[in-house]
Chain A
């Protein structure tokens, strides 16, 4: 089995057992050159890659990801087109899609999970689908061998956090701050706190996302977590015209930082 087929949790646990930190970049699906950017990120040392499927009302996303999102939507790119294109992409790191629940709901939960299976996309992140509403989706994902990656927020209660850690597959997506996606000047205090709380509850990989904008912040948060997700900083590179090379270069900067400790 290839790394991509083995899935995200498998790959990340290998990274962790080699005493390294996990790096998961986010790339907006359907954006000009996004397939090449995915390949470049994989080559630059990403352990898994998160691919955004744009939605009209992304309430968890800040201005950077919204802008990329709107560009893709204005070109009429459909979720199915992104899934199909990624399916035929020759890249051997595990992949996840990040989108909003209505995209999946409209697609049909079972059909969405099954299409991802065929496309060898292992994980799914749905930031507006909290655990209390997630059962139907988790069932569909599980029966198709997909990993539903759940989010844990700084406000999440201990009791609830325990259940999130139990139910999540792939990793625990620890939301680093109270707020939406986007780079911040400094790492929020809450990032390490939520990472520590998750680490105390689970053996699964714990990655922090939201508000990790530069290699220093990635290093800092990974003192506690098993690694991090980098979204807006990478999407900004695409918006600035940096192309796949720019993405590759940025991912390798994060990689070296995480490998340097």
Chain B
């Protein structure tokens, strides 16, 4: 994967569009990350945490029954088996360790589905830091279990009451908090978005997914998969797995919810610190994304994804809620794995495109497990 330019650009996208108050912090963070990432001590400490605390490496499962059902070979990268139930832990352990190194005592985070909030609360508990998580009021309602988990982990969950009261508004609140508390707080952003250095730093913390998957594929298949796919909201799990295959022949497919398809329906715009594709009206007002999955309910996309889309290295597809619900059940019944609704999007695309994928080998990043979605799905199924 390419590193961003000094001004935080991936091609035409990215940047550091934040209030002047936050500029010194973003610059300080960039410097601290660059230093830490180049330091053997930091790398070793993080690797040990990922192994002994988070349970890495995550395995790859070859799906016999699902492959038979869809008619082509399917592999799952099992990020759902990580501690806290999703890929999010990779990034928060990295950021919390970095925050500690920078002398920060408090973590601020936003969360959509609650997975990043839980992961941040977990890291805060592990390092003995204070933690405040902003979550849209609507999401608090549909993800009660994760709210309870965050409380249990000692974090304070504050509702975002403005706008659509979902992920984008939780980010607004987290940024407002950070503007006021920047001296002792680190904003633990949960995706490959936001101002530079976040899109780059978060991707680097998730690269472990792609590095592992690449070598696991060599072991299991003796070659690279033909297609690598992942769901995309902001796009952190997708960049994590893509990073292992961007230099190969593998096709990279990101799957967005139809109601939040930033690449397909978006227009370049600036929100939450970077320039990227964005759902917005003719006056630049940001539109509300709509999706069955709180974790993908975001009107933008990480700037590096915008760059990968613009250059054609990755392709972005969309699926509707109905297809996602079907895919959710499909994996449960064929493989005994209940996926989170987010990666069920990528599976929904795979299920729909079985003709196109026939004869290929497809690696899906199963970014999280579906326990958190059980209550919501009980209502969907009636």
Judged by a CB distance under 8 angstroms, whether B282 is at the interface is: yes
Contact call A133/B179, Cβ cutoff below 8 A: no
Q: Which residues of chain A in 168-182 are interfacial with respect to chain B, using CB atoms and an 8 Å cutoff?
A: 175, 177-180
B-contacting 9-mer, from A6-14, A97-105, A241-249, A251-259: A97-105
Q: Which residues of chain A in 116-153 are interfacial with respect to chain B, using CB atoms and an 8 Å cutoff?
A: 127-133, 150-153
- Could you mark each residue 87-118 of chain A with 1 if its beta carbon is under 8 Å from any beta carbon of chain B, else 0? 00000000000000111111100000000000
Which residues on the B side are within 8 Å of A3 (C-beta)?
Answer: none
Smallest Cβ distance from B201 to chain A, in angstroms?
Answer: 18
Contact call A178/B270, Cβ cutoff below 8 A: no
- Could you mark each residue 178-209 of chain A with 1 if its beta carbon is under 8 Å from any beta carbon of chain B, else 0? 11100000000000000000000000000000
Given contacts A56-B163, A106-B284, A178-B183, contact A157 B24 (CB under 8 A): yes
Judged by a CB distance under 8 angstroms, whether B272 is at the interface is: yes
Contact call B180/A180, Cβ cutoff below 8 A: yes
User: Closest chain B residue to A177 by CB distance?
Assistant: B180
Task: Tell which of B24, B179, B280, B284 touches A59, judged by Cβ atoms closer than 8 Å.
Answer: B179
Given contacts A55-B285, A57-B271, contact A130 B24 (CB under 8 A): no
Q: How many residues of A contact B (CB 8 A)?
A: 42
Judged by a CB distance under 8 angstroms, whether A220 is at the interface is: no
Given contacts A56-B286, A103-B283, A103-B284, contact A130 B168 (CB under 8 A): no
User: Top 7 closest A-B pairs, CB basis?
Assistant: A106-B284, A179-B180, A153-B21, A56-B285, A102-B284, A153-B20, A103-B284
User: Closest chain A residue to B169 by CB distance?
Assistant: A57
Which residues on the A side are within 8 Å of B267 (C-beta)?
Answer: 106
Smallest Cβ distance from B195 to chain A, in angstroms?
Answer: 9
Given contacts A59-B175, A73-B285, contact A178 B20 (CB under 8 A): no
Distance A37 CA – B353 CA, assembled complex (angstroms): 59
Given contacts A101-B270, A102-B269, A106-B269, contact A55 B284 (CB under 8 A): yes
Q: Can you list 15 contacts pairing A with B, beta carbon distance less than 8 Å?
A: A56-B163, A60-B176, A102-B270, A106-B267, A106-B280, A106-B282, A106-B283, A133-B15, A133-B17, A150-B20, A153-B20, A153-B23, A156-B24, A178-B179, A179-B180
User: Closest chain B residue to A63 by CB distance?
Assistant: B162
Which residues on the B side are within 8 Å of A133 (C-beta)?
Answer: 15-17
Task: Tell which of A60, A78, A152, A156 touches B283, judged by Cβ atoms closer than 8 Å.
Answer: A78
Distance A55 CA – B271 CA, assembled complex (angstroms): 11
Residues of B in contact with A (beta carbons under 8 Å apart): 7, 15-25, 162-163, 168-169, 172, 175-176, 179-183, 267-272, 275, 278, 280, 282-286
**Secondary structure class of chain B's binding surface, majority of residues:** mixed
Contact call A152/B285, Cβ cutoff below 8 A: no
Which residues on the B side are within 8 Å of A78 (C-beta)?
Answer: 283
Distance A150 CA – B20 CA, assembled complex (angstroms): 9
Smallest Cβ distance from B121 to chain A, in angstroms?
Answer: 23
Which residues on the B side are within 8 Å of A131 (C-beta)?
Answer: 20, 23
Which of B20, B24, B181, B282: most chain A Cβ within 10 A? B20
Q: Which residues of chain A in 213-257 are interfacial with respect to chain B, using CB atoms and an 8 Å cutoff?
A: none
Distance A58 CA – B267 CA, assembled complex (angstroms): 19
Given contacts A179-B179, A180-B176, contact A105 B23 (CB under 8 A): no
User: Closest chain A residue to B287 by CB distance?
Assistant: A56
Distance A130 CA – B25 CA, assembled complex (angstroms): 13
Distance A155 CA – B178 CA, assembled complex (angstroms): 12
Distance A78 CA – B23 CA, assembled complex (angstroms): 30
Which residues on the B side are within 8 Å of A52 (C-beta)?
Answer: none
Contact call B19/A59, Cβ cutoff below 8 A: yes
- Could you mark each residue 52-68 of chain A with 1 if its beta carbon is under 8 Å from any beta carbon of chain B, else 0? 00011111101000100
Task: Tell which of B17, B269, B271 touches A130, judged by Cβ atoms closer than 8 Å.
Answer: B17
Task: Tell which of A55, A104, A155 touches B21, judged by Cβ atoms closer than 8 Å.
Answer: A155
Which residues on the A side are within 8 Å of B269 (C-beta)?
Answer: 102, 105-106
Task: Tell which of A107, A127, A155, A157 touches B284, judged by Cβ atoms closer than 8 Å.
Answer: A107
Which of B7, B162, B168, B284: most chain A Cβ within 10 A? B284
Which residues on the A side are within 8 Å of B175 (C-beta)?
Answer: 59
Contact call B20/A156, Cβ cutoff below 8 A: yes
Distance A140 CA – B169 CA, assembled complex (angstroms): 31
Smallest Cβ distance from B318 to chain A, in angstroms?
Answer: 22
Smallest Cβ distance from B17 to chain A, in angstroms?
Answer: 6
Contact call B283/A70, Cβ cutoff below 8 A: no
Judged by a CB distance under 8 angstroms, whether A79 is at the interface is: yes
Given contacts A105-B270, A106-B282, contact A59 B20 (CB under 8 A): no
Task: Tell which of A62, A79, A130, A160 touches B19, judged by Cβ atoms closer than 8 Å.
Answer: A130
Smallest Cβ distance from B260 to chain A, in angstroms?
Answer: 15
Contact call A128/B18, Cβ cutoff below 8 A: yes
Smallest Cβ distance from B233 to chain A, in angstroms?
Answer: 17
Which of B7, B268, B271: most chain A Cβ within 10 A? B271
Which residues on the B side are within 8 Å of A152 (C-beta)?
Answer: 20
Smallest Cβ distance from B120 to chain A, in angstroms?
Answer: 20
Smallest Cβ distance from A65 to chain B, in angstroms?
Answer: 11
Contact call A151/B20, Cβ cutoff below 8 A: yes
Contact call A60/B15, Cβ cutoff below 8 A: no
Contact call A70/B19, Cβ cutoff below 8 A: no
Distance A76 CA – B270 CA, assembled complex (angstroms): 21
Judged by a CB distance under 8 angstroms, whether A16 is at the interface is: no
Distance A102 CA – B280 CA, assembled complex (angstroms): 10
Given contacts A56-B285, A57-B172, A102-B269, contact A180 B179 (CB under 8 A): yes
Smallest Cβ distance from A117 to chain B, in angstroms?
Answer: 19
Which of A79, A154, A155: most chain B Cβ within 10 A? A155
